[in-house]
A = this chain, B = another copy of it.
Amino acid sequence: MNKPSKLGIGVIGTGRIGKLHIQHLSQNIPDADLIAICSLDTKTAETLALQFNIPKVTTDYKSLLTNPKIDAVIVASSTDTHVEICQAAAEEGKHIFCEKPITLDLEQIDETLAIVEKAGVIFQVGFNRRFDVNFMRVREDIVSGKIGEPHILRITSRDPTPPPIEYVKVSGGIFLDMTIHDFDMARYLICDEVVEIYAVGGVRVDPQIGEAGDIDTVIITLRFQNGVLATIDNSREAVYGYDQRVEVFGSKGMVTVGNPKTDTVTFSGSQGSRSAPLPDFFVQRYKDAYLTELQAFVRCIQEETQPLVTGTDGRVPIVMGYAALKSLRENRPVLLSEIS
């Protein structure tokens, strides 16, 4: 039944994103053969295995790495396990899709990327937004020269509700947890490196976030090597929904990505007209992008090409996060070169 061209895949981690990957690999990627899943949450794993006809379930990720039927692993376990698993997987010659962030320790990232490179395996980082059809089209419009030379980039990225305080405490802070996606988006769209960052922020949404040592509202300025200037704003709570917009302004025009609406219905009454709300959150908004990134990963392995999100792409936004944090603390623009 299993054609030789199919790629054997194992998934490590069965949290929210792990489940999504399992579903996509089982249902929507004909070239993928989901051989095994690994989770400490045995019950969830077994339910998933039954639902999606997955042959093997384990609590030991190493058994996946030594399984000869498995060509590639999806690392969707908790962040603190990424480095160990990725290094072990590379050493077993498995291709790796690793959820973001690889880790927040830059030294460990460098070590991991070195091992990956030596092993010669494909390594893709889970910056799913790059695969959103809207952002892909904007990048095309930039790369094709449609907007001319880019001058200004504006990213708005606001969550509908803050995460639980317990999560905030271990998240690494808003820059490394939330803005990290926008840092990646900025590099992705402008196709260039940021040299300097200035960040301002405050606790506007919930004092508890401040007590946990974090902030919930930020505006960040980026200066790119090629002269493009960018501004990012984040909030942990937009009551009107998950707000994810981008605008790139250039010498020949401007291209924007608006928020998709959940439907196309408009009601006009005596109080004006009202249109549909925004998507709830990222799973809804980036539903297709999550699938597309896995399809792209499978294709990279099949065609032995470089993934759209490399190890370096996984590293740089973390450097940017630290630069933003340093900028916030010292209230001054910080060069990325200041972060080792």
Number of copies: 4
A14 to chain B, nearest CB (A): 17
State whether A265 touches B256 (Cβ < 8 A).
Answer: yes
Q: Please state if A239 and B264 are interface contacts (CB–CB under 8 Å).
A: no
Residues 237-278 of chain A, each 1 if its beta carbon lies under 8 Å from chain B, else 0:
111100100000101111111111011111111111111111
A201 interfacial contact with B, CB 8 Å: yes
> Is A204 an interface residue when CB atoms closer than 8 A count as contact?
yes
A239 touches B270 (CB 8 A): yes
Interface size class of A (residues with CB under 8 A): 35 or more
The contact string, 1 if C-beta is below 8 Å from chain B, for chain A 186-207, is: 0000000000001011101100
Contact B229 A267 (CB under 8 A): no
Residues of A within 8 A of B (CB): 1, 27-28, 30, 51, 53, 133-134, 137-138, 141, 146-149, 151-152, 154, 156, 158, 198, 200-202, 204-205, 217-219, 221, 223, 227, 229-231, 233, 235, 237-240, 243, 249, 251-260, 262-278, 331-333
A-B pairs, 9 with minimum CB distance: A253-B269, A240-B268, A258-B264, A27-B27, A151-B204, A272-B277, A219-B229, A239-B270, A254-B268
